[in-house]
Amino acid sequence: MEPKKILFATFPADGHFNPLTGLAMYLKSQGHDVRWYTGQAYRPKLQTLGIPHVPFRYALDVSSDTLDTLFPERARHTRQLSKLKFDLTHVFVSRTAEYYEDILDLRQEFPFDAMIADIAFTAIPLVRFRLNVPVLAMGIMPLGETSRNLPPSGLGRVPSYTRWGQQKQAVLRWLTDRFVFKAPTEQYRDVLDAYGITVQTTNLFDMLYRSASWVLQSGAPGFEYKRSDLGANIRFVGALLPHRHPRPQRYFFQDRVKAFDKVILVTQGTVEQDVTKIIVPTLEAFKETRHLVVVTTGGSQTEALRTQYPYANVIIEDFIPFEEIMPYTDVYVTNGGYGGVILGLQHGLPLVVAGVHEGKNEINARIGYFKLGINLQTERPTAEQVQDAVLEVLHATVYRTNVKALQEELRQYNAHQLCEQYLAEALAAHEPASQAGLAA
């Protein structure tokens, strides 16, 4: 494949940005000219990677760190569906035209041949059909495309394949399209209509999926519900993971790992700063036991936690490379960020998950459904809930058996080579698209 000019474009949040850094560095190593359009917070990371950063100009720089500051009214939406609807409207859809105007200006100085964007980047249809540029949408979250076999995406419901279950799910799809997600869908449709683009679907999730040249889904079919109507442009590519910087392995925990019966790895990711949600309950559940608890805080209250839990079986760090600690780990406790979950599954770790917001309900529902671990179905589990779940996962062989099977499935994919292959196919098949619209 001849070197191409490739624009990466992501919503400015770790779960959207980080999983694509490995692919960006791979394509860069293959000789492609890679640049990245995203929020200002990611400029230092891109400088470290040696990838030119294209900042937002017209677009409001909304990120997970600035959400509540930019939208103070968001705090009133405490229920999961209410918060999701608010975010879809104000955080994602309202940025669409702003993203496009930025990219329109950028193309004057960087005439990119293709765009690679996370699936939640709402300017995908505009770039594909107004600029006539192939777009690869990267599935860095569970598949959200509507299926006649499944409940609607966003509710965190597991499927039923019985006749009654299928009928109930059809009603739920109708209700969510016409009531729950009606406002953000109509708003998104109005934005696209203003640019002469019509996508004949019933919700905004499908508009994004069907507008992309390819949707390249991180993960494997074994972590997705069975459906008979998978979109023709959707392909699984295995684990899309962050770029790993070469660094000396320190393994400072190695001796302590050997001194305990089991190792429990606990994280809330880099965004969630309330350590009382998962970290504290896990520490309370297993302090002064024969299990080693390894906590990565992402920099939130590390010293305070060390003071509160000064036990021999506790390690608390701002950050530990998961590639170093996961080979020693027996169970992974997390709020359910998609990238971290996929990395845990790639390392063969059964999970205990607790999280419902920001799409984590969909991720965690799959963990419970496929018996890859236990879904506690809450943002705030008690110490007793965590303890019971961890002990069950450690002692019941079904979870480790299922995780090992999925681990083997993930190993069948070479994610970066597959992505470059689909990029080449999209470029080869590209023809000027109609600016009038897209038929579903």
Domains of the chain: 5-242+413-427 (3.40.50.2000), 253-395 (3.40.50.2000)
Query: What is the pLDDT, as a whole number, of residue 177?
Result: 93
Query: What is the pLDDT, as a whole number, of residue 437?
Result: 47
Query: What is the pLDDT, as a whole number, of residue 35?
Result: 98
Angstrom distance (rounded) from CA 176 to CA 240: 30
The DSSP H or E segment spanning 7 is strand 5-9
Query: What is the pLDDT, as a whole number, of residue 357?
Result: 84
Torsion sign across C-alpha atoms 341, 344, 350, 355: negative
Distance of alpha carbon 208 from its chain centroid, rounded? 15
Question: Which parts of the chain register pLDDT below 70?
Answer: 247-251, 431-440
Backbone angles phi, psi at 109, to 5 degrees: -105, -20
> How many Cβ atoms are within 10 Å of 182's Cβ, its own excluded?
15
Query: What is the pLDDT, as a whole number, of residue 84?
Result: 83
Query: What is the pLDDT, as a whole number, of residue 342?
Result: 97
